[in-house]
Amino acid sequence: MTAPNLTAAAGPDYGSTVFGGWRRAAAADWQAYTRHEFVRRLGDGSLPRAAFLHYLVQDYVFLANFARAWALGVVKAGDLEELRAAAATVDALVNQEMRLHVTACAAAGIAEKTLLAAEEEIENLAYTRFVIDAGLSGDFLDLLAALAPCVLGYGEIGAWLGDAADDKTYADWIDSYAASDYQALCRSVGRLIDRAAAARLGAAPEASPRWADLCRTFRTATRLEVAFWDMGLRGGR
């Protein structure tokens, strides 16, 4: 087993110059998130099983609320393409990804009723409610800036670990985000972001007076991802 390559270049931008810009503006937090100790230890297999299981349970609760945030995207969609993308994502999260999670947890000995009875950790709660409020208070693009770190960050982590990790302990988890269909989803969300930004900010998004706010939203969501990994590492205490 070798440690994942820590000096990896910046991850893929999934075809989105806007995401690229947001990530640059949050570079230190993005690094703390995507190269977090929890992530590295998923990669080298040293993450305690209990921490992983605690994370899995919290992530199930996270998914339900993350789907609610994407549903707000349906409410706020500005045109048909945004409507379709958000609707498909909600359904995929609720009726596919959450079910896969139930299966994965069952394989790990966690019953579905344990998932449902789990007390939501404060870091978990903070993250999803922040995303929902970013959507409620802003427009579709503000919502995307809050959703992006999770969707695309997991893509980057999956791609990195899929490449760099050779330990097999958490290979199932890694494979699900390194997989070509997840990477394709990231590219389609990347396109959605650039398209939504062009429709609202024009051809030079970084010159918009909203740019600083969008960067702040993205960065706060990234900080909350870091806190989520911290919570995972703390592992149910």
In order, the DSSP letters of 67-108 are HHHHHHHHHH--SHHHHHHHHHHHHHIIIIIHHHHHHHHHHT
Contact partners, residue 172, CB within 8 Å, separation at least 6 = 104
Q: Whose structure tokens read 């045109």?
A: 79
Q: Would you say 26 and 219 are in contact if contact means Cβ atoms under 8 Å apart?
A: yes
Q: Would you say 74 and 90 are in contact if contact means Cβ atoms under 8 Å apart?
A: yes
Helix runs in the chain, H state only? 17-25, 27-34, 37-44, 49-76, 80-92, 98-107, 112-117, 122-137, 140-164, 171-178, 180-201, 211-234
Q: Would you say 73 and 140 are in contact if contact means Cβ atoms under 8 Å apart?
A: yes
Number of residues that bind a second copy (CB under 8 A): 51
Region near a second copy per CB under 8 A, out of 4-12, 49-57, 159-167, 221-229 = 221-229
Residue 225 among the catalytic residues: yes
Residue 150 among the catalytic residues: yes
Q: Does 117 interact with a second copy (rule: CB under 8 A)?
A: no
CB of 43 to a second copy, least distance (A): 26
Residue from 129, 187, 191, 195 touching a second copy (CB under 8 A): that is 129
Binding mask 163-202 for a second copy (x = CB under 8 A): -----------------------------------xxxxx
Q: Whose structure tokens read 């970013």?
A: 134
Residue from 35, 46, 91, 118 touching a second copy (CB under 8 A): that is 91
CB of 69 to a second copy, least distance (A): 8
Given the residues 150, 156, 186, 215, the one annotated as active site: 150
Q: How many CA atoms lie within 13 A of 52 on its CB side?
A: 21
Nearer to a second copy, 123 or 194 (CB): 123
Q: Catalytic residue numbers?
A: 150, 225
Residues in contact with a second copy by the rule CB under 8 A: 64, 67-68, 71-72, 74-78, 80, 83-84, 86-88, 90-91, 93-95, 98, 116, 120, 122-123, 125-126, 129-130, 132-133, 136-139, 142, 198-202, 207-210, 213, 220, 223-224, 227
